[in-house]
């Protein structure tokens, strides 16, 4: 035995001892246990229950069932993504068309957006209805004239009674026959003194009644109804029933406060009357001036409803292969109605034919892929 072989023996024996020790160490360590979460265990259990009925079927039936399920799922996905990929996308007026839009068939639809816009315009442009009482101002003038005449009669009766009264009951008869302005407003004693001071002048009476008519001429409305005033209103005469559209900017359409202020200004211009007398006349005449026109809410709403119902529906008619818009065009208002009609057609018309066609396409696609894969696998083997 050579010295070299003697030197190699210890190394060989040490290597053998190492190989003998490795299996012992591996047996001692063992494998780490696999832990599963409750969610994973529940999912695996549900998967086992779902696969159990399929195991009862033959392999060919399982293949056909999976093939048809995959084709049906693909059909649903294609049918749901098709409206989003159609060329008639949802645009806004002023947008740029991203792809050409062509009508696939003869389509007749109602443009709901344009119809609603026209109806809203008709409702907004319908003038509000106001009831006009042309006799109200004349009634105010006649009321003032009647009060003037009644006060004059009281004064004349008091003058005739004083000539026949005795000395014993002179004071009581004078207090009992004291004339008083018959109106229910204003400072009645002051009004009585002012009118009596001018001797119940007929000319003054005519001048005052003319002031009432002029101040209340036109259309006088209550300030609380000012929110219903529009540039044009429909005036309905409550007595004759005649109607007319009146422009509030061109006619004498004024609030009650402005009419009374105008009457007060005319009274303040009276000549020959003291300031206290003019104030007394104003307190008697201003309350007689009332609104002669009033807003009619019910008639206005009925007129607006009738105006909306009178607007016909806007119909959109598209021909087959009609180019609605080209790529790069600017979207206009008529285009929006055409795009809406095209989207409605794609959502409602020919849906069964679409599903059948997509299903056959998916089946053919997967069958071709399966045949190609089968052919490649056979050629390699």
In a domain, 46, yes or no: no
**CA-CA distances (angstroms) from residue 134 to 166, 187, 242?**
51, 29, 12
Give the integer Cα–Cα distance in Å for 239 and 136.
Answer: 11
* Domain assignment of residue 213, yes or no: yes
289 and 212 Cβ atoms separated by less than 8 Å: yes
Angle, CA of 240, 244 and 250, to the nearest 5°? 130
What radius of gyration do the chain's Cα atoms show? Answer: 51
Q: Which two tokens stand for residue 344?
A: 């409605």
Instruction: Look up residue 380 and give its two tokens.
Output: 């390699």
Burial readout 35-46 (b: 16 or more C-beta within 10 A, e: otherwise): eeeeeeeeeeee
Question: Is 83 part of any domain?
Answer: no
Distance CA 159, CA 161 (A): 6
Q: Which of 306, 304, 133, 128 is nearest to 233 (CA)?
A: 128
Structure tokens at 346: 């794609």
β-pair partners for 262: none
Q: Which domain holds residue 179?
A: 126-162+173-308
Query: Is the whole model's pTM more than 0.95, yes or no?
Result: no
Nearest residue to 291 via CA among 183, 185, 133: 133
Relative orientation angle of helices 297-310 and 112-125, to the nearest 10 degrees: 150
CA distance to 41, 43, 302, per residue, from 48 (Å): 11, 9, 68
In a domain, 220, yes or no: yes
Residue 15, in any domain of the structure = no
Residue 212 lies in a domain: yes
Residue 105 neighbours by CB under 8 Å, 6+ apart: 320, 345, 349
Quick check: is 29 in a domain?
no
pLDDT given for residue 252 in this prediction: 84
Q: What is the pLDDT of residue 168?
A: 44
pLDDT in tens, the chain (381 residues): 444 444 444 545 544 454 454 554 444 555 666 667 888 888 888 888 877 877 787 888 888 888 888 888 888 887 776 554 445 568 888 888 888 888 888 888 888 889 999 999 999 999 999 999 989 999 999 999 999 999 999 888 876 555 455 444 444 444 455 788 887 777 888 988 999 888 888 999 999 999 999 998 889 999 999 999 999 999 999 999 899 999 988 778 999 999 999 999 999 999 889 999 999 999 999 999 999 999 999 999 999 999 999 999 999 999 988 898 888 889 888 888 888 888 888 776 666 777 788 888 888 888 888 888 887 777 766
Q: What whole-number distance in Å separates Cα of residue 314 and Cα of residue 316?
A: 7
Q: DSSP state, 99?
A: S
Distance CA 177, CA 159 (A): 9
Predicted local distance difference test score (pLDDT) of residue 18: 46
Paired strand residues for 237: 132
Give the integer Cα–Cα distance in Å for 126 and 234. Answer: 9
70: left (phi over 0), alpha (psi -120 to 50) or beta: alpha
Overall number of domains in the chain: 1
**Residue 254: per-residue pLDDT:** 92
The residue behind tokens 């003058």 is 159
Residue 119 · residue 311 · CB < 8 Å:
yes
Task: Name the token pair of 204.
Answer: 């003054």
User: Domain for residue 157, yes or no?
Assistant: yes
The C-alpha atoms of residue 56 and residue 60 are separated, in whole angstroms, by: 12
């Amino acid at each position: 035995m050579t010295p070299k072989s003697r030197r190699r023996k210890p190394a060989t024996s040490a290597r053998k001892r190492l190989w003998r020790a490795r299996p012992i160490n591996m047996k001692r360590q063992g494998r780490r246990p696999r832990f599963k979460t409750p969610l994973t265990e529940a999912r695996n259990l549900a998967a086992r229950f779902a696969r159990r009925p399929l195991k009862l079927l033959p392999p060919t039936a399982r293949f056909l069932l999976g093939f048809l399920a995959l084709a049906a799922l693909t059909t649903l996905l294609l049918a749901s993504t098709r409206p989003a990929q159609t060329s008639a996308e949802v645009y806004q007026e002023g947008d740029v068309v991203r792809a050409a839009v062509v009508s696939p068939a003869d389509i007749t639809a109602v443009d709901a957006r344009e119809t609603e816009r026209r109806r809203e315009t008709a409702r907004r442009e319908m003038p509000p209805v106001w009831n006009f009482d042309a006799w109200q101002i004349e009634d105010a003038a006649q009321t003032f004239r009647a009060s003037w005449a009644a006060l004059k009669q009281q004064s004349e009766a008091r003058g005739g009674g004083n000539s026949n009264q005795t000395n014993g009951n002179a004071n009581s008869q004078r207090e009992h026959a004291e004339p008083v302005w018959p109106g229910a407003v204003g400072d009645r004693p002051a009004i009585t003194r002012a009118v009596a001071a001018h001797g119940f002048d007929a000319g003054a009476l005519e001048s005052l009644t003319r002031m009432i008519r002029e101040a209340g001429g036109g259309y006088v409305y209550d300030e609380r109804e000012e929110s219903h005033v529009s540039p044009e209103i429909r005036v309905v005469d409550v007595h004759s029933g005649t109607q007319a559209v009146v422009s509030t900017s061109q006619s004498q359409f004024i609030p009650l406060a402005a009419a009374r202020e105008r009457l007060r200004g005319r009274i303040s211009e009276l000549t020959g009357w003291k300031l206290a007398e003019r104030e007394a006349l104003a307190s008697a005449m201003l309350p007689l001036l009332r609104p002669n026109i009033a807003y009619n809410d019910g008639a206005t709403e009925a007129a607006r409803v009738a105006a909306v119902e009178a607007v016909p529906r806007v119909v959109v008619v598209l021909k087959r292969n009609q180019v609605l818009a080209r790529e790069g065009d600017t979207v206009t208002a008529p285009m929006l109605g055409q795009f809406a009609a095209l989207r409605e057609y794609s959502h409602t018309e020919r849906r069964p034919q679409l599903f059948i066609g997509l299903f056959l396409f998916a089946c053919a696609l997967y069958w071709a892929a399966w045949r190609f894969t089968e052919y490649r696998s056979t050629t390699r083997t």
